[in-house]
Structure 1
Amino acid sequence: MRKKTPKVLNTKKNRDSQYTHSKFELPNLNKFIYENMQNRERSTDYNLLYRISKIMSTELKIKDRHINEITKPISEKQTKEVTLQFFKELDQELYEKAKKIIDGNSDIGFNMYMLDENEDFSKTKSDGMPVHTKIPCVFSRNGKSAVYMPYKGTIEDIYLLVHELSHTFDIGKNNNSTRNMLGEVTPACFETMLNQYLIEKGIATKEDTTNREMGRIVHYYDDAVETFAKLELIKIKEQQENITHKNLIEIQKKYGITNRQLSYVLKRLANSGSNVDYKARYMNALLIYPHYMEQYTENPQKAIRTLKEYSKQIKANNFENSLKTLGINPCIESIQKLVETTNRRIEILENKQSAITKNTWNQPDER
């Protein structure tokens, strides 16, 4: 029996046609990879990132890469109210922290605004902080931090606000190496817990929340592929002066990648920043949050306490203790187990999508 070669990108055959050949020519690719090499952090374990990204890129099983955003309208006021009520039902302390930020009574600033098409994002305030940012984020500079929350007026804004506020739970005066690696885990957990809350309150449907979570998984999976591609190419460039077409062909053969899949990866690299660490943290979130959600399903209150303690360990820059707090043994062998847990989560979500689609087709035609 012929063994199937693992694929770095799980694109469906009927979607391959949308990927065109990348214009990321070899001189530019070599320059880009060199910049990534120069920007590596001393505190980051890139061998660990390589192993994680390789396993995730080749072993995560995603059948459908279709992404649907939730476009149902909601006001800015409602977004804030729903967000705060969500945190209140989870934990009083988290609610109070979030409320202080939104009400402007915290050391952490808060800016929620509708973007102007002609916005100049280079503008700064007198303290050096930006007036606005293009995407939601927690921005820190000169010892100050602020939540920037551009909104569109849809339910998606609730997810984004929950995401950014949850970042503030583990933020310190300075960024640290643990947060650099694991800083997206907490937001991913809170976003996923938000799903059930929105369903229970009638704000979103099971279809909405399932599709959104699968969309996030696809995005984070692609971040894993991008991270793996960078680290694989860095390994080549460390051994020789330039990456060649022959190297790319060898990578294709090694991982069973089609031309279109390779083109897609190169296009992502062409639009990526010259920093390995940034996308790796989203990859790590995809690796860990399903493990946490299994704990949350078993005992929600205990899981919330665990996540709060995890945030403290992140803030204190305790990498191993952060993982141990979540019940993860900080060793290489744990990666495979976490990937299996993530695959279980993906399978559950895809089964939900199939059931929803089936029920939709079976609905009587009301005319």
Structure 2
Amino acid sequence: MKRLLILEDETYFVGEGFGAKSSVTGEIVFATGMSGYQEMITDPSFKGQLLVFTSPTIGNYGINRDDHESMVSACSAVVVKNVARVASNWRSQQTLGEFLEKREIPGISGIDTRALTKKIREKGAMKASIIDMVPDLEHDFDQLRAIVLPTNQVQEVSTNKPYSIPGTGFHVVVVDFGMKQSILRELIKRDCHITVVPYNTSSEVILSYQPDGVMLSNGPGDPKDLPQVPEMILDIQSQVPVFGICLGHQLLSLANGADSYKMPFGHRGSNHAVREIASDTIYFTSQNHGYAIDQESLVGTDLMVTHVDINDLSVEGVKHKKYPAFSVQFHPDAAPGPHDGVSIFDEFIELMESEGKTHA
């Protein structure tokens, strides 16, 4: 089944279709890392995006029920050089192609992903479509350029109503902007009693749960598309400890007067080096974001930079100077990726302890 991957700059690639037999349009991005494709495909932060894997072969160890990061559709499409038709792993329950077909996610293989990645690095993330072979590409390029990508991804991936996960430790309210399940797993390991609430929950409702701490989760899209959230954060950060991850980090920063910007091609993958400034420690981290906080915009705010990216010196973490609030741009839950930053969850627990909170 021959298919086309077309970009808005009028570049196109011919490949073989697999997975769902549908056409799709979205922002095309690439992710590095040789493994972890299941976690990335099911990560809600990829909502609406065509996901390019830089590793040359994807799908070799199949799909299993335990490694999903969400049960909702995440990325819009999968782009690979080679797709493994046979999976070899004792946990495997289906092939990648079978999984994508069931999730109604189209895939395309046989693509020169090295050339495609170099183009994205050179020109930045752009709109792209996967379509059937057509005689008139010029018409399709015109249509692609005219498409306006949606800005309501968080609404689509957030929970619709609150739910709880019982625990005997601190009570943590998690605001779900497109949360990965691995975040919950790390809190469960620390015996937390968890209440997950929708992205648009007010500060009054959050505080009515009498939490020991509040976590702002990861999620897709531009943090400025959620103008009501910074006000909520301002209300709660002076009353309970707050911990933000990825989109949550950006929203905490915006709430305290910083500014964000769209990166040329973002950080996506499981091998990004980050330096913790206080200890001069290097972490290798999992990341997935297309926006970042402008470091210069932090001047004059009550936030201080705690972590920076080794490669481009972008802001990877902040801490409030007055209130018990901090955040990181990377994913300390490490799914997929190295576990260098997982101790940051322990820092959140210690922060709740230091604030004199009692167990739920």
Calculate the TM-score normalised by the size of structure 2.
0.21
Higher helix share goes to which structure? 1
Larger Cα Rg: Structure 1 or Structure 2? 1
Higher strand share goes to which structure? 2
State the structure with bigger RCO (CA 8 A, min sep 6), 1 or 2.
Answer: 1
